[in-house]
Amino acid sequence: MTNQNTISRESDLSGGEYKWGFVTDVDTELAPKGLSEDIVRLISEKKEEPEWLLEWRLKAYRLWADLEKKDGEPTWAMIDYPGVDFQDIYYYAAPKGTNEAPKSLDDVDPEMLETFEKLGIPLQERAALAGVAVDAVFDSVSVATTMEKQLGELGIIFCSFSEAVKNHPELVKKYLGSVVPHTDNFYAALNSAVFSDGSFAYIPPGVKCPIELMTYFRINTEGSGQFERTLIVADKGAYVSYLEGCTAPFRKTSQLHAAVVELVALDDAEIKYSTIQNWFPGTKDGEGGVYNFVTKRGRADMNAKISWTQVETGSAITWKYPSVILRGDNSVGEFFSVALANNHQQADTGTKMIHIGKNTKSTIVSKGISAGKGNNTYRGQVQIMPGAENAVNHTQCDSLLVGDQCGAHTVPYIEVRNPTARLEHEASTSKVSDDQLFYLMARGLSEEEAHHMIITGWSRDVIKELPFEFALEASQLLKVSLEGAVG
């Protein structure tokens, strides 16, 4: 039984300001600013990692340093920002006293518990009522994971990445970097070198995970970057639904978030991955905010299914393309996204569907909302490889413009190398219809309420893909994020 009050973010939605901008005063252990081989060694040492993982990190670091020297950070996306000074970032920030993983919630710093309480994340055992298991990641470190025991009875492993390295090295070694290799791109290389923690989940063959798994990410320390790594493996015939939420304090300097998420769905498995991304978007005048440069990709084997659903309302800049490699025959990939860019936010987001296996299917539904001075770009790639007999793709991407100072862009890449494939792409761009607004306002709604109602309805195709509690929150987030954009 789901108790919606337990999980709601309990935020007052009337003001329109970013509600999650408070700072938690906890003792933090910081490595010196900047990035070098020594820092990579330090991170690995702090986490008591085995030699192979250090070597893997160093390989990634050397590649990244090389890329940085040669080309710098990638510039192809339609985003405009002053660039990142990679030597002015803390690559390791951990709440003090977390070197040892807490044995139970009693060992967790009360300040931190309070933070997650304020954010509405149910770390207490009452979380059981909400039907989710939560891994809470504070700055770079996982501070608490709930319901490990209950899940353990089913053979499900759900823990922080560091614990997984210690307790399940064979699984980590087998799958780490198997979907997003360290050579994939600039930020994937950076993440591979310095990733600090994140979540790990393994669902054994044939097991249907009975509750939703959730990771909550929180950046706290000023000037720190967050580089978490998530690895989810659904073994043959397994099923899991995974939720991800994120917030950061109000800071006038920008923060870098470069995460990597790898999903592995073995034969007949299904992974449903939902994200509500609500990093600090910057002030109304475009100061501060999180740079969200994320690589997310899943691998679907025979008959497997991977579904990405995302609601992107936060971050000053979003650069994110959750993708599916459909390598097994009959595998299915889905991408449902609502991305909102208000004030000075910039979002360049979309997906990649790589069809390799026969009879593979993919569906893309992307809704982009631009308001204020925001710029929203859908960038998606659908690739049909020569062996992908009878592959099918349907893509729909719609953009909505609210106000005359924003921008909405669509950049699909469609690459077809098999004649049996069927591929359709359609897109439209418009503003909120005057007729619909007029109708609702004639029924007594304010202009803002009318806009919100129309936008929620317009995003419904995506929102309905979210688990119930997330759907409610997503709709409220859209409302808050849009406040001030109308009228």
Partner 1 sequence: MTIETPPAAVDKFARAFEKLSSDKSTSPEWIKSLREKAWSAFSNLGLPTKRRGNELWKYTNLRPLADLEFSYGSSGSVTAEQIKCAGPWDDAWDTLVVVDGKFSSELSSLNGTTGLRATSLASAIESSEGDVESQLASLAGKEEYAFTALSTAFVDDGAYVSLGDGSELEQPVHVIFVTSGASESRAVYPRLLMNAGVGSSMTLIETHLNLADTPQFSAPVIEILQDGGSAIRHYRVQMENEASFHIGTTRVSQQGDTDFTSTSFAVGAQIARNDVHTLLDAPGANCTLHGLYMTNGSQHQDQEISTTHAKPGGSSDQFYKGILSGKSHAVFSGKVIVMRNAQKSDANQKDLNLLLSRGAEIDAKPSLEIYADDITASHGATAGHVDRDTLFYLQSRGVDEETAKAILVRGFAEEMLNEFEPPTLFDFVERVTDERIPVLLAESDTIGTA
Binding site for partner 1 (CB under 8 A): 69-72, 75-76, 78, 384, 386, 390, 399, 401-431
Q: Which is nearer to partner 1, 284 or 409 (CB)?
A: 409
* 418 versus 476: smaller Cβ distance to partner 1: 418
Q: How many CB atoms lie within 10 A of CB 329?
A: 18
Question: Taking a C-beta distance cutoff of 8 angstroms, is the pair 239, 211 a contact?
Answer: no
Indicate the burial class of 190 (C-beta count within 10 angstroms; 0-12, 13-18, 19 or more). buried
3 state DSSP class of 53: helix
Q: How far is the CB of 305 from partner 1 (least distance, A)?
A: 22
Least CB distance to partner 1 at residue 171 (A): 34
Q: What would the DSSP string read from start to end of 300-357?
A: E-TT-EEEEEEEE---SEEEE--EEEE-STT-EEEEEEEEEE-TT-EEEE--EEEE-S
- Return d(Cα 277, Cα 82) in angstroms, integer: 22
Asked if 354 contacts 334 with a C-beta cutoff of 8 angstroms, the reply is no
Nearest-angstrom CA–CA distance, 259 and 137: 12
Among residues 67 and 440, whose Cβ is nearest to partner 1?
67
- Is the distance from CB of 299 to CB of 328 less than 8 angstroms? no
Residue 384 CB, nearest approach to partner 1 (Å): 8
Q: How far is the CB of 325 from partner 1 (least distance, A)?
A: 19
CB 226, CB 217: distance < 8 Å: yes
Q: For residues 84 and 45, give the distance between their C-alpha atoms in angstroms, rounded to a whole number.
A: 26
| CB 271 within 8 Å of CB 240 | yes
Dihedral, CA atoms, 339, 340, 344, 346, nearest 10 degrees?
A: 10
Shortest Å distance, C-beta 431 to partner 1: 4
> Considering beta carbons, is residue 58 or 427 the nearer one to partner 1?
427
**Residue 308 CB, nearest approach to partner 1 (Å):** 22
Strands (E), 8-88: 28-30
Q: What are phi and psi of 156, to 5 degrees?
A: -80, 130
What minimum distance in Å lies between the beta carbon of 343 and partner 1? 16
Least CB distance to partner 1 at residue 70 (A): 6
Cβ proximity to partner 1: between 258 and 421 the closer is: 421
CB of residue 436 vs partner 1: minimum separation in angstroms?
Answer: 15
Of residues 157 and 400, the one with the C-beta less far from partner 1: 400
Cβ proximity to partner 1: between 3 and 430 the closer is 430
SS3 (DSSP) at 403:
coil
Select 183 or 390, whichever has its Cβ closest to partner 1: 390
Q: H or E segment at 412?
A: strand 407-416
**Closest distance between partner 1 and the C-beta of residue 377, in Å?**
9
The least distance separating partner 1 from the CB of residue 144, rounded to whole angstroms, comes to: 42
- Smaller CB separation from partner 1, 36 or 420: 420
Residues sharing a CB contact under 8 Å with residue 298, sequence separation 6 or more, in sequence order = 179, 262, 263, 264, 265, 271, 273, 306, 308, 322, 323, 324, 325, 333
Between 30 and 416, CB nearer to partner 1: 416
Q: End-to-end alpha-carbon separation of the chain, Å?
A: 41
CB of 424 to partner 1, least distance (A): 5
User: DSSP label at 208?
Assistant: B
Q: Closer to partner 1 by CB, 226 or 399: give it.
A: 399
Helix (H) or strand (E) holding 234: strand 229-234
Q: CA-CA distance, 214 to 131, in Å (whole number)?
A: 10
**C-alpha pair distances (Å), 152 with each of 87, 390, 484:** 41, 40, 47
Parallel, antiparallel, or unpaired: how do β-strands 212-218 and 323-326 relate? unpaired
Select 386 or 457, whichever has its Cβ closest to partner 1.
386
